[in-house]
Chain A
Amino acid sequence: MGEETAFSVTDQVEINPLYMFRWEEAQDAYVLLYPEGIVKLNETAGEILHHCSQSSSVGDLIKKMKTHYAASDPATAEKVEDGVYKFLEVSHAKGWIRRKT
């Protein structure tokens, strides 16, 4: 495992291939499946991971999330950005995501 540094806009992140991420109709939520475990994600967490898998960089992800939450005013936009960074940090610590190398 590499040094722990905060994520930056240019970082490329992906879902850890140990995990299977997908929408689960019966749960009405995104889920992460891994050996012997299930994580049911709340709405925001699910959306971030969903967009994460389709983004070229953290900056791109933030842009997509701002669009998703229609965050046009600066206050909301900042809140979305903070939320994304915080979530990336947590999911990195949990091993759900990793930096692309």
Chain B
Amino acid sequence: MPKAGSGVKLDGQGQPLWLCLELTYRCPLQCPWCSNPVDFADYSDELTTEEWKRVLREGRELGALQLGFTGGEPLIRKDLEELVDYANGLGYYTNLITSGMGLTEERLLDLKKAGLKQIQLSIQSCDSNVTNELVGTDAHDKKLAVAKLIKKHDFPMVLNVPVVRQNVDLVPGILKMAEELKVEFLEFANVQYYNWALLNRKELIPTKEQLDRAEAAVNETRARVGDDMTIYFVIPDYYDGKPKACMNGWGNIHLTVAPDGSGLPCQECRVLKDVEYNSVRDHSLAWIWHESPAFNLYRGQDWMKEPCKTCDEKEQDFGGCRCQSYLLTGDATNTDPACSRSPFHNLVEETVKEANAPNRIYQPLVMRRANRSENTAVSG
């Protein structure tokens, strides 16, 4: 899952410090907030091992330091260990971002040998029923077992919990679980409402009351555990009136390569339907980063309109998220509607109001599936 402004603020001096490889869109889970494209099944032509290695080499030449292996579920690729080993040899700090499904002790040991530095494991609650329902399959116990294995083999670990209406009341139990697991980092990640999450937005948005209670529990734990566990928790942009500093700016420090080789400024940006993304199969990574129209589209500040253009926050938040502007207002160059200064802020306010209404009509979640019609009650 992409991070909304949780990373440090960095000046990449024109280099893609953060390289993210989406090895595959395949995944055994069906999370209804999945960041993969809704038509993910159309991107089955994955890069080969040798093609990924070329991407890794070219990424290092461009100055990339942090490397995320993600997906989909990256463990589905049998060459994961080989790629980690190769990346480690090139000098990357290698992160594995996983659902934990398919992570055996044997593979974990191989990954350690290959030089993997860190594992980010997603878990959805401290209650197996809630987790299993949210991801559409029996996953909770496996994830817990994997978490213990990761600690047994001494990897630094980020436990990543997407925050939704269905699990946010369990935050106190999740905090306790993380403490018991002795994870170094616990990250409550706000769901970004694009792709699958946008389909399910009404059902997933937590209420303000829920968030306030969760925040209080987080602060209580923070005070108690001190430096032993770093807890990330931020009130989502929908409630905050402040846009997230999305990707630290478009084409600034992040470079994602999708399973089919498309170079993307962000993992979600395929939602911008009129933008053409170039593939590493046709171009060098350097050309994609420096020259391609897609990466230059919203780089810097020249594209900005009012109110961003003359706002003194623009150096900090880069006008928010282009995908959110596009999805909610139809124009990616508009100010992010999560910003209270946006003329479209009422769109976000109305959504929030609906989510907090006492007499809401519930709808079943649209689970991430290759064939959406398998969902029993899909509206629209």
With the chains together, A20 CA to B66 CA distance in Å?
Answer: 11
Is B40 part of the contact surface with A, judged by Cβ < 8 Å? no
Instruction: Evaluate contact between A38 and B10: CB separation under 8 angstroms.
Output: yes
With the chains together, A13 CA to B91 CA distance in Å?
Answer: 25
Instruction: Evaluate contact between B66 and A18: CB separation under 8 angstroms.
Output: no
Is B290 part of the contact surface with A, judged by Cβ < 8 Å? no
Residues of A within 8 A of B185 (CB): 35-36
Is B228 part of the contact surface with A, judged by Cβ < 8 Å? yes
A35 interface neighbour in B10, B63, B118, B228, Cβ under 8 Å: B118
A38 interface neighbour in B6, B13, B17, Cβ under 8 Å: B17
Instruction: Evaluate contact between A36 and B156: CB separation under 8 angstroms.
Output: no
Residues of B within 8 A of A33 (CB): 65-66, 93, 117
With the chains together, A54 CA to B80 CA distance in Å?
Answer: 34
Query: Helix, strand, loop or mixed for chain A's interface?
Result: strand
The count of chain A contact residues (Cβ–Cβ below 8 Å) is: 17
Which residues of B (143-189) have their CB < 8 Å from a CB of A? 156-158, 184-185
Q: A26-B15, A27-B63, A95-B227 are in contact. Are A35 and B8 (CB under 8 A)?
A: no
Query: Helix, strand, loop or mixed for chain B's interface?
Result: loop
Instruction: Evaluate contact between B227 and A24: CB separation under 8 angstroms.
Output: no
Instruction: Evaluate contact between A38 and B226: CB separation under 8 angstroms.
Output: no
A31 interface neighbour in B65, B120, B156, Cβ under 8 Å: B65
Is B7 part of the contact surface with A, judged by Cβ < 8 Å? yes
Q: A27-B63, A95-B227 are in contact. Are A35 and B184 (CB under 8 A)?
A: yes
Residues of B within 8 A of A18 (CB): 156, 184
Is A74 part of the contact surface with B, judged by Cβ < 8 Å? no
Residues of A within 8 A of B208 (CB): none
Name, among A24, A27, A36, the residue most crowded by chain B CB atoms within 10 Å (CB to CB): A36
Which residues of B (226-245) have their CB < 8 Å from a CB of A? 226-228
Residues of B within 8 A of A20 (CB): 93, 117
Is B95 part of the contact surface with A, judged by Cβ < 8 Å? yes
Is A34 part of the contact surface with B, judged by Cβ < 8 Å? yes
Q: How far is the CB of B301 from chain A (nearest CB, A)?
A: 23
With the chains together, A18 CA to B117 CA distance in Å?
Answer: 9
Q: A1-B227, A18-B156, A20-B117 are in contact. Are A36 and B15 (CB under 8 A)?
A: no
Is B309 part of the contact surface with A, judged by Cβ < 8 Å? no
Q: How far is the CB of B84 from chain A (nearest CB, A)?
A: 14
Q: A18-B184, A31-B65 are in contact. Are A37 and B120 (CB under 8 A)?
A: no
Instruction: Evaluate contact between A36 and B227: CB separation under 8 angstroms.
Output: no
With the chains together, A33 CA to B91 CA distance in Å?
Answer: 11
Residues of A within 8 A of B227 (CB): 1, 95
Which residues of A (14-73) have their CB < 8 Å from a CB of B? 18, 20, 22, 24, 26-27, 31, 33-40
Residues of A within 8 A of B156 (CB): 18, 34-35
Residues of A within 8 A of B3 (CB): 36
What are 9 A-B interface contacts by the 8 Å CB criterion?
A: A1-B227, A20-B93, A22-B91, A27-B13, A35-B117, A35-B156, A36-B6, A37-B66, A39-B8
